[in-house]
């Protein structure tokens, strides 16, 4: 590790900060083109129905309408996280499977006309019995959402390591509990939006709100039946994704199809209401979990049975289910584990990845159960965690290899926070307010390596005044990666952050990239950027060596200067060097190229769950303090501490933003957020009734990172902000347990649940 | 989401506004309720009559006899910041932060708040999600999706200002085509979820008159919600107490419940029970129980009816305790 960085580890404002804060940044819905048409999507009003006929004649005749497309205008491509099992057409083919399923799309001269046209499309449906409850869906006689999936099981896993049954027999303490989590929304503020322009040469240009634009690049080609070289995907600024903007959707596809049909650019902007009732959600789950421990608190075995409500389509659900199950092996040592998981189709919105991807649900169950066990065994929740904490160089039974690991340190720091908080707690005023402190821990992936394409690439161009242009295939969906990646490039090249211009994804120009998921961008793309910067730096070092009459290996780049190691006075400015390199002799075209992917990992087999997901893992401990009002039943989180091992932070300010977002999101998940449905119909499709916490509901968050350096990560960095989401929920639930002595096994914990539980407890 | 098509007029006088009324026209003040309803296609007026150009409706005045005279176009933020309100009725300005969020307080008016339409889970859904359901009573249909057997609309009046203003004895002035009338705010509400107030389509709320409060009085408004911002009340409780400072007996008492039915509920029995009595925990409890009988929340809001009913008692006690704070100092 080299000291005295100019960019890395500094609290630098984000490169996109000013234009986002001032509202200048352009998002997909802000874009327009001459002659552009406006699109709208007709959605299914039924949870389950067969499409008998679609008659769009009246709609087509409405003045101002330019085209109507339906499933019949498509080649019938079906998307899915496992391509061979794709089950989701972008416009419904024979059936609709949830209220909101896209059926047809209209392009018109303005939004109003398009909206009016939707009313004129006559769809004849044959209503089918629907199933909206995942447990009922698994009955033999339940209606089938997809004919190919008996008992509506869209994916199942059975992971088993060690000998669970034998282990339980040897345990001193065993408990079984039943947990449930509700369906919640990603909660991004920018709705889905797409602008597509098909030109006469048969080339498609597309701008969309996609956190992983290359998902759309591939699926667009497949769904339209054209080659990738005819597709150009451009990424504007993205207003949040959290896993809900990875996949390509009906809005993306329809804009392209309508543009092809009309020969005009077509833009479709989905309303926030549509986002809330017709797009993705986090898997709601029903989890039965059994844990066995030794008297001294050593965890011996876990056996879990998980039902995940997948909604109408497969989406990325196989991965979600695998993650839910396999993360029972992290962050504690666990010699024996079994997890059976069922992802079930229902006639509701499809479930997909969401911040923490499946892991928050099962870890909520495991972490709350651990506190219950500790409580009954008379053990301290922190000690039990410390005792079982995985450390560096350990391997989990399913094959996760731990390398750098500050987990133990995070628990020890967490203990200190708890001691401090217990001391500085105000003398209780209102006897109806009960305070409690709870903890949760996590381990998380840092850029998983999965089947398929994993590599990130970066290209760097150096300008003659010393400025640098950086291009990667990665998308900043709001997490700040444009800034982190720019800092990495700046540090390697010895310039400053403000010298770097970050170019957003344009598939014609930027390297192909998997996307923004699994906390991979800073870690994987960061390494690609480092390699690209080193590449161009080496080219420059050769020129510098000639100019300064030194060995290229002795050339140093720092803070816009280039000099000979050991004698800083023997140097020139960085811009000067670039000019010399470009102008003298044949001149150089200064382009750096880098690509990187985690190598040497045993890629996970989804069937057995065996393999190593990630080149390294992040860890941490979350402490929350709550006040429970025993009169109103309302719980309020009053402060939090997040102690995490993110490796060495690239930018602490950006990292804090990530953590705070995770913390407050977790408050919503635990206490207020839930999609309420009646007969498959969403009752609260707005941010007024779907209660995400706002800035005014936030609390103070203390942040501390452990002193960890990851050898593989760029400048020692790992991941930040996603993993910790896993531990926020259980820390709050455990804090409520501490406050009123009741462990809640279902989230969100509503005031009524609290009051009822208090009544039960007092034996009324 | 776009607005449906409409014609827009902005008269400068009350008479002008009234004369422009024709069927299916709507007055607009801050628009924070109406525009949302229009975007969801719950309301589609053909004409929008903007009241913001009528300077008469934007004043706050004080005189000793009548008290505060508040124009309906005063925004919630203005109400909060107005020095006359701060001086004579500080309790009123303190309610504003409990309503919606700062941006909405800047736009929303006190008049619009009193004239707020009643709300219901089913009725307020976007039109698309209502498609395959029969229209409800409020939407001109024959059924109620909440209380299926009933033939009454249970949409909830959810404004935060009405209950406290009623507790303070507020009167309102209504101006119509040919005549004006002044009445107690408690008479302003109709008891029907379909149309929660008695205004005819060509009548305007033109004045809100809050009488001067006795020196010896206390006041409180408590609101139940699940988030500390944005949320409409799941229950509102307003309490006014006038105490005889010599013997500590109640000279007057007023208790209003809000957001548990189509209109704010005046708990008359509570006034009778309290008058002439000293406040004791036992009496407080009796009053709270009595009030609970008057609350009939149904399953049409974010929280269960049982919970909201249960909270009636809890919030009443909190409100009474808060209203008594000025007296505990003496
Ligand atoms: C997200 C959100 C949260 C909210 N939270 C709350 C809350 O917590 N508490 C709360 O009380 N309200 C809340 N509201 C509702 C609203 O913002 C306020 O009630 C506001 O005070 C309404 O005033 P306005 O001027 O905007 O009304 P407008 O929308 O302009 O008008 C509402 C109705 O009153 C009529 N009207 C207005 N002025 C007059 C008049 N002088 N004479 C006759 N009729 C008139 C209009 O025709 C219309 O039918 C919320 C709204 C939103 C969108």
Domain ranges of chain A: 17-21+455-596, 31-128+190-239+245-278, 281-449+603-762
Question: Parallel, antiparallel, or unpaired: how do β-strands A677-678 and A681-682 relate?
Answer: antiparallel
Confidence of residue B246 (pLDDT cuts 50, 70, 90): confident
Q: Can you give the pLDDT at residue B327?
A: 83
* Cβ contacts of B125 on chain A, cutoff 8 Å: 681, 683, 685
Give chain A's end-to-end CA distance (angstroms, integer): 63
- For residues B39 and B24, give the distance between their C-alpha atoms in angstroms, rounded to a whole number: 16
Sheet bearing A122-127, strands edge to edge:
A95-96, A49-55, A122-127
Choose the most confident range, by mean pLDDT, from A122-136, B10-24, B286-300.
Answer: A122-136
Indicate which atom in ligand 1 lies nearest the CA of residue B232.
Answer: 8
- For residues B270 and B291, give the distance between their C-alpha atoms in angstroms, rounded to a whole number: 7
Would you list the domain boundaries of chain B?
A: 217-324
Look at ligand 1, atom 41, and give the residue with the nearest C-alpha: B205
pLDDT of B248 > 90? The answer is: no
Rounded to 5 degrees, what are φ and ψ at A141?
A: -95, 15
- For residues A206 and A197, give the distance between their C-alpha atoms in angstroms, rounded to a whole number: 6
Q: Can you give the pLDDT at residue B203?
A: 95
Q: Give CB contacts under 8 A, 24+ apart, made by B44-47.
A: B44/B4, B44/B6, B45/B6, B46/B6, B46/B7, B47/B6, B47/B7, B47/B8, B47/B9, B47/B20, B47/B22
Report yes or no: B233 and B270 within 8 Å, Cβ to Cβ.
no
Q: What is the pLDDT of residues B26-67, one digit of tens each?
A: 999 999 999 999 998 999 999 999 999 999 999 999 999 999
Q: What is the pLDDT of residues A63-76, one digit of tens each?
A: 999 999 999 999 99
- For residues A40 and B93, give the distance between their C-alpha atoms in angstroms, rounded to a whole number: 44
Tell me which of B11, B103, B115 to substitute to probe ligand 1's pocket, judged by most ligand atoms within 8 Å of the beta carbon.
B115
Percent of chain B residues past pLDDT 70, beyond the cut: 99
pLDDT of A209 > 70? The answer is: yes
Confidence of residue B302 (pLDDT cuts 50, 70, 90): confident
Residue A238 neighbours by CB distance under 10 Å: 25
Give the total residue count for chain A. Answer: 764
* Token duo for residue A298: 């050593």
Q: Can you give the pLDDT at residue A3?
A: 57
Confidence of residue B329 (pLDDT cuts 50, 70, 90): low
- For residues A182 and A529, give the distance between their C-alpha atoms in angstroms, rounded to a whole number: 39
Q: Can you give the pLDDT at residue A733?
A: 98
Ligand 1: lining residues by beta carbon, under 6 Å: A 688; B 26-34, 36, 51, 72, 76, 99-100, 104, 107-109, 111-113, 115-117, 159-160, 199, 204-205, 230-232
- For residues A547 and B28, give the distance between their C-alpha atoms in angstroms, rounded to a whole number: 74
Q: Which of A99, A272, A672 sits opposite B226 (nearest CB)?
A: A672
Domains A17-21+455-596 and A281-449+603-762 share a fold: yes
Domain A31-128+190-239+245-278 has CATH 3.40.190.10: no
Q: What is the per-residue DSSP string for A188-223?
A: -SSPPEEEEEE-TTS-EEEEE--SSHHHHHHHHHHH
Rounded to 5 degrees, what are φ and ψ at B84?
A: -65, -45
Please state which architecture CATH assigns to domain A17-21+455-596.
2-Layer Sandwich (3.30)
* Cβ contacts of A271 on chain B, cutoff 8 Å: 1
What is the ipTM score, two decimals? 0.94
Q: What is the pLDDT of residues A526-554, one digit of tens each?
A: 999 999 999 999 999 999 999 999 999 99
Report yes or no: B57 and B134 within 8 Å, Cβ to Cβ.
no
* Cβ contacts of B302 on chain A, cutoff 8 Å: 684, 689, 691
Q: What is the pLDDT of residues A425-436, one digit of tens each?
A: 877 688 999 999
Give chain B's end-to-end CA distance (angstroms, integer): 56
Q: Which of B40, B125, B310 sits opposite A683 (nearest CB)?
A: B125
pLDDT of A2 > 60? The answer is: no
Percent of chain A residues past pLDDT 70, beyond the cut: 99
Query: Among A422-436, A484-498, A625-639, which stretch is predicted with the lowest mean pLDDT?
Result: A422-436
Rounded to 5 degrees, what are φ and ψ at A224?
A: -95, -10
Q: Can you give the pLDDT at residue A764?
A: 59
Report yes or no: B263 and B191 within 8 Å, Cβ to Cβ.
yes
- For residues A308 and A344, give the distance between their C-alpha atoms in angstroms, rounded to a whole number: 6
Task: For chain A, say whether B314 makes contact (Cβ under 8 Å).
Answer: yes
Arithmetic mean of pLDDT, B260-285? 95
Arithmetic mean of pLDDT, A206-230? 97
- For residues A712 and A405, give the distance between their C-alpha atoms in angstroms, rounded to a whole number: 13
DSSP state of B27: E
Q: What pTM does this model have?
A: 0.97
- For residues B116 and B264, give the distance between their C-alpha atoms in angstroms, rounded to a whole number: 12
Confidence of residue B330 (pLDDT cuts 50, 70, 90): very low
Cβ-defined contact of A112 to B303 (cutoff 8 Å) = no
Q: What is the fold, at CATH topology level, of the domain defined by B217-324?
A: Enolase-like; domain 1 (3.30.390)
Indicate which atom in ligand 1 lies nearest the CA of residue B26.
Answer: 47
Classified as helix, coil or strand, B252 is strand
pLDDT of A288 > 50? The answer is: yes
Q: CA geometry: angle at A242 spanning A205 and A690, to 5°? A: 110
Q: CA geometry: angle at B104 spanning B102 and B110, to 5°? A: 105
* Token duo for residue A599: 């190598």
Report yes or no: A345 and A312 within 8 Å, Cβ to Cβ.
yes
Please state which architecture CATH assigns to domain A281-449+603-762.
2-Layer Sandwich (3.30)
- For residues A482 and A355, give the distance between their C-alpha atoms in angstroms, rounded to a whole number: 19
Rounded to the nearest integer, the mean pLDDT of chain A is: 96
DSSP state of A7: S
Q: Can you give the pLDDT at residue A763?
A: 79
Report yes or no: B3 and B38 within 8 Å, Cβ to Cβ.
yes
Classified as helix, coil or strand, A368 is helix
Residue A309 neighbours by CB distance under 10 Å: 28
Q: What is the per-residue DSSP string for A374-434?
A: HHHHT--HHHHHHHHB--TT-B-TT-PBP-S--HHHHHHHHHHHHHHHHHSPPPP-STTEE
């Amino acid at each position: 590790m080299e000291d005295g960085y100019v960019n890395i580890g500094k609290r630098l404002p984000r490169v996109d900060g000013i234009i986002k804060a001032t509202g200048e940044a352009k998002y997909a819905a802000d874009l327009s083109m001459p002659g552009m048409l406006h699109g709208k999507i007709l959605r299914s009003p039924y949870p389950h129905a067969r499409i008998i006929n679609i008659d769009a004649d009246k709609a087509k005749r409405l003045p101002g309408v330019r085209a109507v497309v339906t499933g019949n205008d498509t080649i019938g491509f079906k998307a899915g996280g496992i391509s061979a099992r794709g089950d989701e057409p972008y416009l419904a083919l024979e059936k609709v499977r949830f209220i909101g399923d896209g059926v047809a799309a209209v392009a018109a001269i303005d939004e109003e006309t398009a909206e009016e046209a939707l009313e004129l499309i006559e769809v004849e449906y044959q209503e089918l019995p629907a199933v909206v409850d995942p447990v009922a869906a698994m009955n033999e006689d339940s209606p089938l959402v997809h004919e190919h999936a008996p008992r509506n099981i869209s994916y199942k896993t059975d992971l088993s390591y060690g000998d669970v049954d034998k282990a339980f027999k040897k345990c001193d303490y065993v408990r079984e509990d039943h947990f449930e989590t509700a369906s919640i929304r990603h909660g991004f503020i920018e709705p889905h939006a797409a602008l597509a322009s098909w030109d006469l040469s048969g080339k498609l240009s597309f701008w969309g709100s996609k956190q992983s634009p290359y998902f759309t690049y591939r699926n667009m080609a497949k769904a339209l039946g054209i080659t990738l070289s005819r597709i150009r995907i451009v990424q504007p600024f993205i207003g949040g994704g959290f896993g809900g903007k990875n996949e390509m959707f009906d809005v993306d596809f329809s804009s392209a199809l309508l543009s092809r049909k009309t020969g005009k650019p077509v833009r479709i902007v989905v309303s926030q209401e549509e986002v809330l009732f017709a797009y993705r959600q986090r898997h709601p789950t029903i989890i039965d979990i059994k844990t066995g421990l030794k008297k001294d608190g050593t965890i011996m075995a876990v056996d879990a049975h998980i039902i995940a409500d997948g909604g109408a389509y497969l989406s990325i659900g196989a991965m979600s289910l695998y993650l839910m199950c396999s993360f029972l092996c992290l962050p504690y040592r666990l010699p024996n584990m079994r997890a059976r998981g069922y992802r079930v189709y229902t006639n509701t919105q499809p479930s997909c990845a969401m911040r923490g991807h499946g892991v928050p649900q099962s870890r909520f169950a495991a972490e709350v159960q651990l506190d219950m066990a500790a409580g009954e065994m008379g053990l301290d929740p922190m000690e039990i965690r410390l005792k079982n904490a995985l450390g560096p160089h350990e391997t989990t039974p399913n094959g996760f290899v731990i390398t750098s690991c500050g987990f133990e340190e995070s628990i020890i720091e967490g203990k200190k926070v708890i001691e401090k908080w217990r001391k500085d707690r105000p003398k209780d005023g209102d006897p109806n307010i009960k305070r409690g402190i709870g903890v949760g821990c996590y381990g998380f992936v840092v850029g998983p390596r999965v089947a398929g394409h994993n590599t990130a690439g970066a290209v760097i161009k150096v300008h003659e005044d010393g400025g640098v242009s950086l291009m990667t295939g990665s998308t900043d969906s709001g997490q700040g990666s444009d800034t982190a990646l720019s800092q990495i490039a700046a540090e390697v090249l010895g310039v400053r952050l403000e010298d770097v211009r970050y170019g957003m994804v344009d598939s014609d120009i930027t390297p192909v990239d998997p996307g923004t998921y699994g906390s991979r961008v800073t870690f994987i793309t960061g390494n690609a950027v480092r390699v690209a910067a080193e590449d161009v730096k080496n080219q420059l070092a050769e020129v510098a060596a000639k100019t300064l009459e030194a060995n290229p290996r002795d050339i140093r780049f720092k803070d816009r200067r280039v000099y000979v190691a050991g004698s800083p006075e023997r140097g020139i400015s960085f811009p000067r060097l670039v000019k010399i390199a470009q102008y003298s002799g044949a001149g150089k075209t200064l382009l750096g190229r880098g690509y990187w992917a985690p190598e040497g990992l045993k890629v996970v087999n989804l069937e057995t769950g065996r393999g190593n997901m990630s080149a390294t893992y992040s860890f941490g401990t979350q402490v929350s303090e709550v006040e429970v009002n025993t009169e109103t039943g309302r719980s309020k989180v009053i402060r939090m501490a997040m102690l995490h091992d993110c490796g060495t932070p690239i930018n602490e300010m950006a990292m804090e933003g990530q953590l705070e977002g995770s913390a407050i999101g977790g408050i919503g998940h635990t206490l207020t957020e839930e999609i309420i449905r009646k007969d498959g119909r969403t009752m609260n499709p707005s941010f007024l009734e779907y209660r995400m916490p706002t800035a005014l509901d936030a609390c103070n968050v203390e942040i501390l990172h452990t002193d960890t350096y990851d050898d593989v990560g760029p400048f020692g960095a790992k991941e930040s902000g996603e993993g910790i989401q896993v531990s926020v929920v259980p820390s709050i639930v455990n804090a409520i347990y501490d406050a009123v002595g009741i462990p809640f096994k279902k989230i969100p914990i509503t005031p009524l649940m609290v009051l009822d539980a208090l009544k039960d407890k007092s034996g009324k | 989401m776009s607005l449906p098509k409409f014609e827009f007029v902005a008269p400068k006088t009350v008479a002008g506004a009234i004369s422009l009324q024709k069927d299916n026209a709507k007055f607009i003040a801050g628009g924070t309720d109406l525009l949302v309803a229009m975007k969801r296609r719950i309301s589609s007026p053909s004409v929008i009559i903007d009241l913001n150009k009528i300077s008469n409706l934007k004043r706050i005045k004080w005189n000793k006899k009548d008290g505060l005279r508040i124009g309906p176009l005063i925004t919630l933020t203005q109400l909060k910041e107005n020095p006359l309100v701060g001086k004579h009725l500080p309790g009123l300005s303190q309610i504003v932060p409990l309503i919606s969020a700062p941006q909405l307080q800047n736009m929303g008016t006190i008049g619009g708040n009193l004239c707020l339409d009643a709300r219901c889970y089913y009725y307020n859904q976007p039109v698309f999600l209502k498609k395959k359901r029969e229209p409800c009573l409020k939407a001109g249909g024959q059924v109620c999706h909440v209380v299926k057997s009933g033939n009454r609309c249970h949409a909830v009046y959810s404004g935060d200002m009405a209950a406290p203003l009623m507790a303070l004895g507020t009167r309102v002035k209504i101006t119509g085509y040919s005549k004006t009338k002044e009445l107690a705010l408690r008479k302003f509400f109709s008891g029907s979820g379909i149309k929660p107030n008695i205004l005819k389509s060509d009548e305007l709320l033109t004045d809100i008159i809050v009488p001067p409060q006795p020196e010896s009085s206390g006041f409180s408004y408590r609101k139940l919600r699940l988030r500390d911002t944005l949320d409409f009340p799941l229950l509102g409780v307003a309490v006014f107490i006038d105490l005889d400072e010599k013997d500590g007996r109640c000279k007057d008492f007023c208790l209003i419940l809000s957001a548990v039915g189509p209109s704010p509920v005046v708990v008359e029995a509570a006034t009778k029970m309290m008058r002439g009595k000293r406040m004791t925990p036992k009496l407080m409890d009796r009053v709270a129980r009595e009030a609970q009988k008057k609350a009939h929340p149904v399953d049409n809001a974010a929280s269960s009816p049982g919970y909201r009913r249960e909270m009636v008692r809890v919030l009443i006690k909190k409100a009474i305790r808060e209203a008594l704070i000025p007296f505990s100092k003496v």
